[in-house]
Amino acid sequence: MVRDCRADRTEGWTYFVTQYTPVIRRILAHYASDDPQRVERILRESRSPESTLFQSVDPSPERWFIAELRQKILATVPASEPDILLDLETVAAALEPLTVVEKLAAWIETMRYDAATTAAMLRMSPETVAKIRDRASELIRGKADAWRSGILLDNGPALGRAAASTGSKDCFPSKVFLDILDGQSTWSVRESTERHVTACWRCIDHFCRMAEVIQLVRGIRPLTPEEATPLLDTLGIRREKPPLWKRWLGA
């Protein structure tokens, strides 16, 4: 699909609209609003010559692509200014005593997920997530100049952008995190990953986004041809009619 869309082939865009419009709607519903006009805008921007969505191919193409799509969508969502600003340096210093898993549970709060959903992503109990977040909140309270309950959630968009802009050449690709989440990595890989991730907020954010991708695709149903047609028309995708003999057999 990525190569077909990059080449502006009808098959690729038909697949993109059919398979990924429901994902776009789910992301927008969580972070903003799945208003039809907003969905159409995302589709049009994805097809514009300036779009960078289809420029790369990852070893885990489908889930990597959804993660990239998520980033593009969030860049279009206006973020309100929080009452109390919280920077990444303060968060990193405050949460330094936490384990990697605890940092993940705390960080997913910046992505607007409650304890129950976070627990499903990280395969732990909601009660454990709630306790971790209570501790994280107190740690931040001890480091921040000002504080209020929900400060991580309030500053989520800015913290996410800040974390994504950090990192180094030692940061891991999506496949490493997906293998861990799928239970397909070795202990040695998990240990080396943990040693890096514990001090790298770019990788903590990246890991959380991969966990979110797995959650996003659960229960997703592709559009039917009837549902996809108006969107394809909006994008100006002209679908070739099948040969007469195929239409005759179909009838």
What percentage of the chain exceeds 90 in pLDDT?
64
Question: Radius of gyration of the chain from Cα atoms?
Answer: 20
Residue 23 pLDDT more than 90?
yes
> pLDDT at position 121, please?
95
What is the mean predicted confidence (pLDDT) over 85-97? 97
Beta-carbon contacts of 226 under 8 Å, excluding residues fewer than 6 positions away, are: none
What is the mean predicted confidence (pLDDT) over 140-167? 94
- Distance between CA atoms of residues 247 and 251, nearest Å: 6
- Distance between CA atoms of residues 168 and 141, nearest Å: 29
Model-level pTM greater than 0.85? Answer: yes
135 versus 169: the higher-pLDDT residue is: 135
> pLDDT at position 206, please?
95
Helix ranges (H only) for the chain are 2-6, 10-31, 36-47, 61-76, 88-94, 100-107, 115-122, 126-143, 151-154, 156-164, 174-181, 187-197, 201-216, 225-235, 244-250
Looking at 17-31, 62-76, 219-233, which range is the least confident one? 62-76
> pLDDT at position 113, please?
96
DSSP state at residue 109: G
Q: Where are the domains of the chain?
A: 2-79+220-239, 88-216
Average confidence score pLDDT of the chain: 89
> pLDDT at position 77, please?
86
